[in-house]
Amino acid sequence: MTTKKAKLRIILKADATVVEDVENPELWQQVLAAIHQNSPEFSGNQETSGASNPIINRLDTQRNSPLVQFAKTIGVSQQDLIGAVDPSLEAPYLNLDDHCWEAMKKQTPKRGPGAISPTALAGTLLSLWFKEAGLGHPTQGQALEVLDTIGIKDVNASRSVKKVPWLQARSGGVMVLNPAQISKATGIARSFCLKKWKQEDERERTGQEV
């Protein structure tokens, strides 16, 4: 007789409404550990009872949480957002998904209109996340750290940022979202998370080489 292995799922409900339903072994183990850490049995343990859990903070699904607002801003589900960029309040702040990156490279041109350079992509995602999380403005160096999560390098980081209209370069390598081009930035983030880069979206995002 073969034994079917049970699958554990994390289900977040508001009364009878399911807010999130995630099947992720690594995640449920972290959540289970956090529950144990905050149980009465551990209330006298200073090392666990008073510590905040970055995983729980990141997955806070309250109405005004940074993660919820980030997902709403770019128009994707929280599950798609976490799967694509895995937002965190700790460096490197975003962890890119290889499949989302592969889809972008396959569906966008290498150069010319519609092309998206590595630093422009990472800088856009970081700038949007920092805005929602209240982390200020990211730097090109932080964008390179995000790219490093999937082993991508960009030797033309400064040039990449200066060439796109939705990002503005500041002193010290700081990147700032152009208030007049927010829709282009959110469109790029949405396309990356959903792995869908339509031609009409490309024309709307940029009319020049990145």
Structure tokens at 176: 């700032």
Instruction: For 83-111, write each residue's pLDDT tens digit.
Output: 999 999 999 999 999 999 999 999 999 88
Q: Concatenated DSSP letters for 58-79?
A: HT--STT-HHHHHHHHHT--HH
pTM: 0.68
- Phi/psi at 53 (5° precision): -105, 115
Helix (H, G, I), strand (E, B) or coil at 17: strand
pLDDT above 90 (res 137): yes
Residue type, 104: M
Q: Where are the domains of the chain?
A: 7-51, 61-205
Neighbours of 44 (CB within 10 A): 8
**pLDDT tens sequence across 12-60:** 776 666 667 776 655 655 666 566 555 554 334 433 333 344 443 444 5
- Can you give the pLDDT at residue 12? 73
Cα(112)–Cα(179) distance, rounded to whole angstroms? Answer: 24
| pLDDT at residue 79 tops 80 | yes
Residues facing 47 on adjacent strands: none
Q: What are phi and psi of 102, to 5 degrees?
A: -60, -40
Percent residues over pLDDT 90 in the chain? 54
